[in-house]
Amino acid sequence: MNTCKAETHTAIDLPEDLLALLPEFTASLTDEARLLSLAARFRPEHNFPYAPHCYSRSILLRDDSGAEIMVARWDQGATTPIHGHPQFAFVYVLNGQLQMEQYQETDQGLVLTDTLVKSKGQHVYAAGIAGHYDNAIHRVTALSPSLSLHVYSDDALKGKAFS
């Protein structure tokens, strides 16, 4: 397990058909079925930046509301710190396999509540409390080299980090 700090990249050059989908994602944050339908149409041919022993975040869009769309490219074994998210979070596995350990914050600290393994075409959707950045607390580990699409209602880096 390689816990690491992701590299963040912007100004990713995408084909017009993918660029056209991005505003539809942010407009659909409260509609899990619509997000899933859009994600199934998202077929990146782009070579997203690679971060050896870690993962990279390629920001595709940040709109005026703060919503963010990004693609993460994962090296096998890369692991995020335990962290939370803004109100809405959608993660769709484009390629590979990701393990997601889900946690609940309690008075005694964090408690592991579930471990999910998601493969190509599978997703996770979470709707939490507006204005909070401790929703959908989890840790992600790439079980194989992977690519995932992320749609958030706000900048994901505002998510609460846990030690």
The least confident of 68-77, 93-102, 125-134, 152-161 is 152-161
Q: What is the pLDDT of residues 91-131, one digit of tens each?
A: 999 999 999 999 999 999 999 999 999 999 999 999 888 88
- C-alpha span between 31 and 43 (Å, rounded): 20
Q: What is the mean pLDDT of residues 54-83?
A: 92
82 and 137 Cβ atoms separated by less than 8 Å: yes
How sure is the predictor about 73, in pLDDT bands with cuts at 50, 70 and 90?
Answer: very high
How sure is the predictor about 86, in pLDDT bands with cuts at 50, 70 and 90?
Answer: confident
Q: Where are the domains of the chain?
A: 2-8+15-157
CATH architecture of 2-8+15-157: Sandwich (2.60)
Is the pLDDT score of 1 beyond 70?
A: no
User: pTM of the predicted model, to two decimals?
Assistant: 0.92
Quote the pLDDT of residue 132: 83
Q: What is the mean pLDDT of residues 63-86?
A: 92
Quote the pLDDT of residue 3: 75
Quote the pLDDT of residue 2: 62
Q: What is the pLDDT of residues 8-64, one digit of tens each?
A: 888 678 888 888 899 999 999 999 999 999 999 998 777 788 899 899 999 999 988
Is the pLDDT score of 156 beyond 80?
A: no
Beta bridge partners of 119: 97
